Structure 1
Amino acid sequence: MQEKKGKNNKLSIAIVSVLLLVVLLWTMVQYDFFSEKSVPVNTEISELVVQYNKNCPLTIQEGIRLDSVSLPKEKVVQYNLTLVKVEKTTAEIQTIKENIEASLVSTAKANPGLKTFREQNYTLIYDYSDKKKAHLFDVTITSDQYK
């Protein structure tokens, strides 16, 4: 009799555990499908980013490689670049950043490849790493700077 009671207890615990697991999984699925965690993205912009990434990695200038492009937030595009001849431990990072930043603002104003982003007032983030993938600096250009 005691053995039968123990088996029923184990069976009850197993059933409750399975039910809890099912409820947990169902909740996770509902959260993933119905949450507003994803930011709505303009289809034209997302297609443009996909095209950029198909061509990556791409040497865009001697010593500068475009590794990828992403849309981290609404109305923000991020270019991930590598300075292939620079090593963080020996570089004058502030000087490099100042030179690049001045160039990027004029490029953002005139580059026909950025026209779609300009027309839709996107913020442009340029994220630079060294040849060993160590982060160097970011340059952020807002629509106010390139208009």
Structure 2
Amino acid sequence: MKKLALITTGLLLIFNSCQEPREKTFEKLAKEYTAKCPVTIGEGIRIDSMIYNPKTNTNSNYYTLSGRIDSPDSIQKKKQYMKDSMIDAVRNSLDLKEYKDFKTTIEYIYFSESTKKELFRVSIDANMYK
């Protein structure tokens, strides 16, 4: 019986040590996603890359806005609405469950295609989506 317990414990340790840490998984997923970018996700909205930073446990999504929606004034006026919408989207997203379980900060950064300047940034931490 003791041998069975030792074997079972040993197997569990081996299997657990073979699993990739969550941070490495997130980094790998971000690199794989970025390799498929840029991707147009709507009129005037393109995702350019995704980066996971294990030091800060932050998953950053970089977008470029173009055309009619590439407007600093318009973004400024809608900033709070956009932030609230993004928080709700993260809160209700099943796709982000693993990130949320790990209390990852989800960050969205939008740049202007015409000026190349940052237009808007929102960081959604675990306190905001629980």
- Judge same fold: TM > 0.5, yes or no: yes
* Structure 1 ranges of 4+ moved more than 4 A: none
Residue type at the aligned position of 1:117: Y
Does 1:116 pair with 2:98?
yes
Does 1:70 pair with 2:62?
no
Unaligned segments of structure 2, at least 5 residues:
1-20
The answer for the alignment partner of 1:129 in structure 2 is: 111
- Equivalent residue in structure 2 for 1:104, among 61, 80, 86: 86
Residues 3-18 of structure 1 mapped to structure 2, 5 A cutoff: none
How far off its partner does 1:125 sit? 1.3
CA distance, structure 2, for counterparts of residue 59 and residue 97 of structure 1: 22
How far off its partner does 1:111 sit? 2.0
What fraction of aligned residue pairs are identical, expressed as a percent?
A: 30
CA distance, structure 1, for counterparts of residue 43 and residue 99 of structure 2: 25
Query: Alignment RMSD, CA only?
Result: 2.1
Normalized against structure 2, the TM-score is what?
0.71
Residues 83-98 of structure 1 mapped to structure 2, 5 A cutoff: 83-85=65-67, 86-88=69-71, 91-98=73-80
Unaligned segments of structure 1, at least 5 residues:
1-39
Aligned residues: 107
CA distance, structure 2, for counterparts of residue 55 and residue 96 of structure 1: 29
